[in-house]
Chains A and B, each alone.
Chain A
Amino acid sequence: MAVLRRIANLFRRSRIDSEIAAEIEAHIEMRVEANMAAGMSAGEARRAATLRFGNPTAMRERTAGADAALGLEGLLRDLRYAARQVRRAPGFALTASVILALGIGASTAIFSAVNPILFEPLPYPNASRIVTIWDSFRGQRVEATFGTFRELAARSHSIEQLTTFEPWQPVLTGQQTPERLDGQSVSAEYFHVLGIAPALGREFNAEDNTPHGPNVVMLSDRFWRSHYGAGATALGQTIRLNDDLYTVIGVMPRGFEDAFDPGAEVWTAMQYDPATLGDFSSSAWGHHFRLAGRLRSGATFDEARRELDGIARNPENDFPRPRWASLRDGLMVDGLQQDMVRAVRPALLAVMGAVALLLIIACVNVTNLLLARGVLRQSEFAMRAALGAAKSRLIRQSITESLLFALMGGALGLPIAAAGVRLLVALSPPGLPRVDAITLNGPEFLFALAISALVGAAAGLIPALETRGARLQTGLRQAARTASRAGRATRNFLVVAEVALALMLLVTAGLLLRSMERLLSVDPGFNAANLLTMQVQISGHKFDNQPLDPAAGDAARRRFFDQALDEVRKVPGVTAAGYSSLLPLSGDPYWIAVYGSQFEKDPPGSGHNVFRYAVSPGFCQAMQIPLLRGRFIDQQDTASSPFVALISASLAQREFGNGDPLGKRLHVGPTNYPWFTVVGVVGDVRQNSLALDDADAVYIPEAQSWFADDAVSFVSRTRGDAAPLAGTIRDAIWSVDKNQPVVRLATMHRLLDLSVAERRFVLILFEAFALVALVLAGTGIYGVLANSVAERAREMGVRAALGASRGDLVALVLRRGLALAAAGVAVGLGCAALASRAVAALLYGTSSLDPLTYGAVAALLLAIAIIACVVPARRAACADPIAALRSE
């Protein structure tokens, strides 16, 4: 192929040259021979032959040109010229490259982080056909029940594989310390729905899922490697979980991530008995089952949604439903990917918007720089055009230079992007899905690089394009530093745009910052200082209720907890301690703690959902939850004394208004359990997050609860810093029974921080971008002003000569600079008002039009503009009129 051959010839240049020389030499020699044969002398013959041939050197070059004529040689020359330019003005090159590097690096890092979460398909075959199904209650998603699962599995045709699962956190014993594992209890179709088969062994089958079926467990690759050294003999071995022996039947492949519980390490077969569905009070009718399924091939998502809706609204006699699982509000169906990201989607999209803005600002800045520089080279281009350079050649060379800058920026941007990705992963909030899949994204890097290259090329193009024949004379004559009016207007416009964009970013960052401030200043309802928390999980059959002695298990649990609490209270440095089944703002899945409540005065069938706290005496005091009326729970409230409860102020307000709730009775949980009498009202506490106001809570003594919790959180208020006592307090608990795992050891402050981790993550990102944008906007203004002062040096000189004082000159420059900044601020405020609506979902307690934030940011930008004006203004003020008029 002709083109390939020519490209190849580029590299074999010297060999081709010598071949051509030999060929031409042979030609001349042959003519010499002929001449000599015709009678000429040797010298004459050679002269005649050479004359006849022409200039061999020129011929050699032209022939070689025919061999490699692709213009690529020109490209190499352009590159060398561009490199020379860079070396001549290293400051400019460095500035342009750094700016581009920041833009490219930041956008690549962010996009790489966001890509696996929002855009990349999940790592399952045909992942788009996996759906999640939720029950609903007043528009909110709620977990479903086992009964609903059975009904849908039987009646739905559009879902071909339906699976149900719930979290399972077994305690692993038989090692040094007991360990609580993260896992799932699943039905047989689970891995079919995901579409991933185990790497070793087998998955669950219908037999495993029967009640009283075998205790079987599947392991994750990571667990298998860490606990079994990746040995194949792991299959068939037993492992002690929750004090029972489980047989390992399978290991999942490496890199497998369970979409429904990314940290899951073990899976077991769910063994609910369908026969118990007849009894509505069985746990199979509790709302703690998640559902997922795979669409039948050929069925569409909408079809499935409609079919499930139809099933929900048309109960059948074969599948009776209790009131709370009546599916009256319909079912909610979502694609798996949407389901996973629904919580973080708005935040991530906002962050991507910020990154796009940053990239634009960076490109605008570089464009400005290139345009300013282009002005300087106007005369150079004019000269070269006059000497015969083709316009296309000049344009090509301009583009090459700009591409070189873009490449340099890209080269710098790559390590920035890599570092950025690592930083993002390190800072990422715990709930961020698919964190393991975040790597540097090649396509996005190339995309950002391409954008910068395009922008750079366009900007570098303009001075070359302006070299037109008629303008040559003006180009050669004009002072090297003046620009055309159109060029100046463009650069002014660009600076105004830059300032406006920077303002948008700053305003958003400011709003987020205020939201965070507001959020952290919310009173959680208790005192979080010097408070250590840890969760203790019950493990072992001695805590189970045996058929022969139904209450023994419960009694054993409570005894253990009370003894452990006694030990904790003895630890020096602990001033108050208590335990509770639920810890506010701790990330506990709240749905396990929500129960129905019904006061005596309420009509049957009504009532509120409340958070149930089963507490020890002293818990509220340890937490410093204020007592508003009556008394706290104390030692006198045992299993055999009258059942008492504390209610939160919001619940009291809701039920009794300003009346006295003390002495009133209510049911919490099952209505066939004895009444609880209200003996006290306590302050409201934030339950799920600082931002949500869902405070209705009922506190009952653990001893009087209708079931004994298997996990409680111990809280200890310490004299001084809480963290150092963590080990001692845990050992105190273990001194009672060392086989009970203690998990989630953290000070309350740390838990509070974690509860806002996602917001903080977004805030940090925005702050970083806003800072960079501010710097870029400042340098943009500085650049334009410095240039204009340099351009108008002559004018300054004339003014000074005509009597303008230094102050006048400074005022001139300042006025210009502030005019630019003010224009940018005005435009930016308008755009920011619109843009901030996009992040309204992320704000708390702050309006998206908060005047304080807008005002502060505008003032900040104007201040930066003034600073940026200082140096050019000073330079203008020091303009020596004589020197200015003489120099050119």
Chain B
Amino acid sequence: MARTDFQGTLDLLVLKTLASTGALHGYGIVLHIQRVSDDLLRVEEGSLYPALHRMEQSGWIKSEWALTETNRKAKYYRLTDPGKRELAKAEHSFDELVKGVKAVLRFA
């Protein structure tokens, strides 16, 4: 049964981003998603940080303060092992969602 909430999709994007890139801060995650999706997806920054903190409370990602290239202090996030498992689940869930929606749309 696919999860159909948007919150889940944002989580999925963030987790995948961190899986591909290693450690990133919030701004970096936004840039990455924007770039990789060819500007198709613009993350609403307002919901990013609550989501990041929520995911950290759930144990999927962990954070630490570090310096950026321009010597600015920022909070970097990294994927954890439970997060990796959650990513796999979310990816699978999303695939099912897409398949389901496509199936309904094809039936016309």
Is the pairing of A and B real? yes
Task: Report how far A22 CA is from B74 CA in the complex, Å.
Answer: 8
Asked whether, in the complex, the Cβ of A54 is within 8 Å of the Cβ of B44, the reply is yes
Is A66's beta carbon under 8 Å from chain B? yes
Is A329's beta carbon under 8 Å from chain B? no
Asked whether, in the complex, the Cβ of B57 is within 8 Å of the Cβ of A23, the reply is no
Q: How far is the CB of A553 from chain B (nearest CB, A)?
A: 91
Asked whether, in the complex, the Cβ of B45 is within 8 Å of the Cβ of A53, the reply is yes
With a cutoff of 8 Å between Cβ atoms, the chain B residues found around residue A27 in the complex are 25-27, 45, 49, 74
Is B53's beta carbon under 8 Å from chain A? yes
Asked whether, in the complex, the Cβ of B27 is within 8 Å of the Cβ of A31, the reply is yes
Q: Which residue of B lies closest to A1 (CB)?
A: B59
Q: Knowing A23-B75, A26-B72, A30-B74, say if A62 contacts B50 (CB, 8 Å).
A: yes
With a cutoff of 8 Å between Cβ atoms, the chain B residues found around residue A33 in the complex are 70
Q: Which residue of B lies closest to A55 (CB)?
A: B46
Q: Which residue of A lies closest to B54 (CB)?
A: A66
Task: Report how far A31 CA is from B27 CA in the complex, Å.
Answer: 8
Task: Report how far A66 CA is from B48 CA in the complex, Å.
Answer: 11
Task: Report how far A58 CA is from B74 CA in the complex, Å.
Answer: 20
With a cutoff of 8 Å between Cβ atoms, the chain B residues found around residue A53 in the complex are 45-46
Q: Knowing A26-B75, A54-B44, A62-B50, say if A6 contacts B27 (CB, 8 Å).
A: no
Asked whether, in the complex, the Cβ of A24 is within 8 Å of the Cβ of B73, the reply is no
Q: Knowing A2-B58, A27-B25, A27-B27, say if A58 contacts B73 (CB, 8 Å).
A: no
Asked whether, in the complex, the Cβ of B72 is within 8 Å of the Cβ of A30, the reply is yes
Asked whether, in the complex, the Cβ of B73 is within 8 Å of the Cβ of A26, the reply is yes
Asked whether, in the complex, the Cβ of B74 is within 8 Å of the Cβ of A66, the reply is no
Bitwise interface map of A from 299 to 343 toward B, beta carbon under 8 Å scored 1, else 0 = 000000000000000000000000000000000000000000000
Q: How far is the CB of A22 from chain B (nearest CB, A)?
A: 7
Q: Knowing A59-B49, A63-B49, A66-B54, say if A30 contacts B27 (CB, 8 Å).
A: yes
With a cutoff of 8 Å between Cβ atoms, the chain A residues found around residue B73 in the complex are 22, 26
Is B68's beta carbon under 8 Å from chain A? yes
Q: Knowing A53-B45, A54-B44, A59-B49, say if A6 contacts B25 (CB, 8 Å).
A: no
Q: Which residue of B lies closest to A52 (CB)?
A: B45
Q: Which residue of B lies closest to A58 (CB)?
A: B46
Is A151's beta carbon under 8 Å from chain B? no
With a cutoff of 8 Å between Cβ atoms, the chain B residues found around residue A59 in the complex are 45-46, 49-50
Interface residues of B in 44-66 (CB under 8 A from A): 44-46, 49-54, 57-59
* Residue of B25, B49, B74 with most chain A CB atoms under a 10 A cut-off: B49
Asked whether, in the complex, the Cβ of B45 is within 8 Å of the Cβ of A66, the reply is no
Task: Report how far A29 CA is from B25 CA in the complex, Å.
Answer: 13
Report whether over half of chain A's contact residues are helix, strand or loop; otherwise say mixed: helix
With a cutoff of 8 Å between Cβ atoms, the chain A residues found around residue B25 in the complex are 26-27, 30
Is A654's beta carbon under 8 Å from chain B? no
How many residues of chain B are within 8 Å of chain A by beta carbon?
Answer: 21
With a cutoff of 8 Å between Cβ atoms, the chain A residues found around residue B45 in the complex are 27, 52-54, 59
Asked whether, in the complex, the Cβ of A66 is within 8 Å of the Cβ of B75, the reply is no
Task: Report how far A2 CA is from B60 CA in the complex, Å.
Answer: 11
Asked whether, in the complex, the Cβ of B53 is within 8 Å of the Cβ of A2, the reply is no
Is A709's beta carbon under 8 Å from chain B? no
Asked whether, in the complex, the Cβ of A66 is within 8 Å of the Cβ of B44, the reply is no
Bitwise interface map of A from 56 to 79 toward B, beta carbon under 8 Å scored 1, else 0 = 001100110111010000000000
Asked whether, in the complex, the Cβ of A54 is within 8 Å of the Cβ of B74, the reply is no
With a cutoff of 8 Å between Cβ atoms, the chain A residues found around residue B75 in the complex are 19, 22-23, 26
Task: Report how far A20 CA is from B45 CA in the complex, Å.
Answer: 14
With a cutoff of 8 Å between Cβ atoms, the chain B residues found around residue A69 in the complex are 54
Asked whether, in the complex, the Cβ of B57 is within 8 Å of the Cβ of A29, the reply is no
With a cutoff of 8 Å between Cβ atoms, the chain A residues found around residue B57 in the complex are 2, 5-6, 66-67
Task: Report how far A31 CA is from B26 CA in the complex, Å.
Answer: 11
With a cutoff of 8 Å between Cβ atoms, the chain B residues found around residue A26 in the complex are 25, 27, 72-75
Bitwise interface map of A from 428 to 452 toward B, beta carbon under 8 Å scored 1, else 0 = 0000000000000000000000000
Q: How far is the CB of A51 from chain B (nearest CB, A)?
A: 10
With a cutoff of 8 Å between Cβ atoms, the chain A residues found around residue B54 in the complex are 66, 69
Task: Report how far A2 CA is from B82 CA in the complex, Å.
Answer: 13
Task: Report how far A20 CA is from B44 CA in the complex, Å.
Answer: 17
With a cutoff of 8 Å between Cβ atoms, the chain A residues found around residue B58 in the complex are 2
Q: How far is the CB of B5 from chain A (nearest CB, A)?
A: 15
With a cutoff of 8 Å between Cβ atoms, the chain A residues found around residue B74 in the complex are 23, 26-27, 30
Task: Report how far A265 CA is from B54 CA in the complex, Å.
Answer: 69
Task: Report how far A22 CA is from B63 CA in the complex, Å.
Answer: 14
Task: Report how far A1 CA is from B16 CA in the complex, Å.
Answer: 23
Q: Knowing A26-B25, A30-B27, say if A63 contacts B44 (CB, 8 Å).
A: no
Q: How far is the CB of B59 from chain A (nearest CB, A)?
A: 6
Asked whether, in the complex, the Cβ of A63 is within 8 Å of the Cβ of B53, the reply is yes
With a cutoff of 8 Å between Cβ atoms, the chain A residues found around residue B46 in the complex are 53-55, 58-59, 62
Task: Report how far A6 CA is from B59 CA in the complex, Å.
Answer: 12
Q: Which residue of A lies closest to B49 (CB)?
A: A63
Task: Report how far A546 CA is from B108 CA in the complex, Å.
Answer: 127
Task: Report how far A54 CA is from B49 CA in the complex, Å.
Answer: 12
Asked whether, in the complex, the Cβ of B27 is within 8 Å of the Cβ of A20, the reply is no
With a cutoff of 8 Å between Cβ atoms, the chain B residues found around residue A23 in the complex are 26, 49, 74-75
Asked whether, in the complex, the Cβ of B72 is within 8 Å of the Cβ of A24, the reply is no
Task: Report how far A24 CA is from B58 CA in the complex, Å.
Answer: 21
Q: Which residue of A lies closest to B46 (CB)?
A: A54
Bitwise interface map of A from 85 to 118 toward B, beta carbon under 8 Å scored 1, else 0 = 0000000000000000000000000000000000
Task: Report how far A409 CA is from B58 CA in the complex, Å.
Answer: 40
With a cutoff of 8 Å between Cβ atoms, the chain B residues found around residue A30 in the complex are 25, 27, 68, 72, 74
Task: Report how far A376 CA is from B54 CA in the complex, Å.
Answer: 42
Asked whether, in the complex, the Cβ of B27 is within 8 Å of the Cβ of A67, the reply is no
Task: Report how far A23 CA is from B53 CA in the complex, Å.
Answer: 11
Q: How far is the CB of B70 from chain A (nearest CB, A)?
A: 7
Contact of A67 among B26, B53, B72 (CB under 8 A): B53
Contact of B50 among A22, A52, A55, A65 (CB under 8 A): A65
Task: Report how far A58 CA is from B50 CA in the complex, Å.
Answer: 11
* Residue of A20, A66, A67, A69 with most chain B CB atoms under a 10 A cut-off: A66
Closest A-B pairs by Cβ, 9 of them: A54-B46, A66-B53, A66-B54, A30-B27, A66-B50, A26-B74, A62-B50, A63-B49, A27-B27
Given A2-B57, A30-B25, A59-B50, 10 more A-B residue pairs with CB atoms under 8 Å apart are A26-B27, A26-B72, A30-B68, A53-B45, A54-B44, A55-B46, A62-B50, A63-B52, A63-B53, A67-B53
Q: What are 28 sample pairs from A and B whose C-beta atoms fall under 8 A apart?
A: A2-B59, A19-B75, A20-B49, A22-B73, A22-B75, A23-B26, A23-B49, A23-B75, A26-B25, A26-B72, A26-B74, A26-B75, A27-B45, A27-B74, A29-B72, A30-B27, A31-B27, A53-B45, A53-B46, A54-B46, A59-B49, A59-B50, A63-B50, A63-B52, A63-B53, A66-B51, A66-B54, A67-B57
